[in-house]
Amino acid sequence: MKRFTGCEWRITMVNDSIDVCIQEKLDVAELLSRLDDSTLQGAWEDEGAVHLYWPEDQWNKERLASVRSILSKLVPSPDGVSLSVTRVPAQDWNETWTRSVKPLRIGRLVIRPSWESITLAPQDIEIVLDPKQAFGTGHHATTRMVLERLQEEIHGGEQVLDVGTGSAILAMAAVKLGAASAIGVENDSVAVDCARESVVQNGLKNRIEVLCGTLTDLSQERRRAADLVLANLDRQTILDLADDLACSGLQGARIMVSGILVEQQDEIVDRFSCLGLVCSERSQDEGWVAMKFFRPESCDGEA
What CATH number corresponds to the domain at position 34? 3.30.70.980
Task: Report the C-alpha gap between 61 and 6 in whole angstroms.
Answer: 27
Largest CA-CA distance found in the chain, in angstroms, rounded: 61
| Of the residues 81, 96, 111, the one at which a domain ends | 96
pLDDT value at 5 more than 70 = no
Shared domain for 139 and 226, answered yes or no, is yes
In the DSSP assignment, the letter for residue 9 is S
Shared domain for 245 and 148, answered yes or no, is yes
Element containing residue 69 per DSSP (H, E): helix 61-74
Task: Report the C-alpha gap between 144 and 25 in whole angstroms.
Answer: 19
The DSSP string of 206-269 is TTEEEEES-GGGS-HHHHHT-SEEEEE--HHHHHHHHHHHHT-SSTT-EEEEEEEEGGGHHHHH
| Of the residues 38, 70, 96, the one at which a domain ends | 96
Confidence band of 96 (pLDDT split at 50, 70, 90): low
Shared domain for 139 and 91, answered yes or no, is no
For residue 146, being part of any structural domain is answered with: yes
For residue 195, being part of any structural domain is answered with: yes
- The alpha carbon of 155 is separated from its chain's Cα centroid by a whole number of angstroms, namely 23
For residue 273, being part of any structural domain is answered with: yes
Coil vs helix vs strand at 68: helix
Shared domain for 201 and 273, answered yes or no, is yes
∠ Cα 245 157 237 (to 5°): 20
Shared domain for 92 and 140, answered yes or no, is no
Task: Report the C-alpha gap between 182 and 118 in whole angstroms.
Answer: 27
Task: Return the sign of the alpha-carbon dihedral for residues 154, 156, 158, 162.
Answer: positive
For residue 275, being part of any structural domain is answered with: yes
In the DSSP assignment, the letter for residue 119 is P
For residue 106, being part of any structural domain is answered with: no
In this prediction, residue 146 carries a pLDDT of 96
Number of H helices, E strands in the chain: 9, 14
pLDDT value at 11 more than 60 = no
CATH code for position 233: 3.40.50.150
Query: Can you tell me the mean pLDDT for 279-289?
Result: 92
Number of folded domains that form the chain: 2
In the DSSP assignment, the letter for residue 24 is S
| Of the residues 96, 122, 146, the one at which a domain ends | 96
Query: Can you tell me the mean pLDDT for 74-100?
Result: 73
Element containing residue 290 per DSSP (H, E): strand 288-294
For residue 102, being part of any structural domain is answered with: no
Shared domain for 65 and 150, answered yes or no, is no
Shared domain for 77 and 185, answered yes or no, is no
For residue 111, being part of any structural domain is answered with: no
Shared domain for 140 and 92, answered yes or no, is no
Shared domain for 152 and 37, answered yes or no, is no
Task: Report the C-alpha gap between 66 and 73 in whole angstroms.
Answer: 11
Q: Single out the residue of 111, 215, 117 nearest to residue 167, CA to CA.
A: 111
Shared domain for 245 and 149, answered yes or no, is yes
Shared domain for 52 and 201, answered yes or no, is no
Q: Single out the residue of 8, 63, 61, 54 nearest to residue 34, CA to CA.
A: 63
pLDDT value at 139 more than 80 = no
In this prediction, residue 98 carries a pLDDT of 59
- What's the predicted TM-score (pTM) here? 0.76
Q: Which domain range does residue 204 map to?
A: 135-294
pLDDT value at 44 more than 80 = no
Highest mean pLDDT among 19-28, 134-143, 243-252, 265-274: 265-274
Q: Single out the residue of 231, 132, 212, 126 nearest to residue 175, CA to CA.
A: 126
- Model pLDDT for residues 212-252, shown as the tens digit of each residue: 999 999 999 999 999 999 999 988 899 999 999 998 987 77
For residue 37, being part of any structural domain is answered with: yes
The mean pLDDT value of the chain amounts to: 85
Shared domain for 198 and 271, answered yes or no, is yes
**Residue 96: partners with Cβ closer than 8 Å, 6 or more residues away:** none
Coil vs helix vs strand at 27: coil
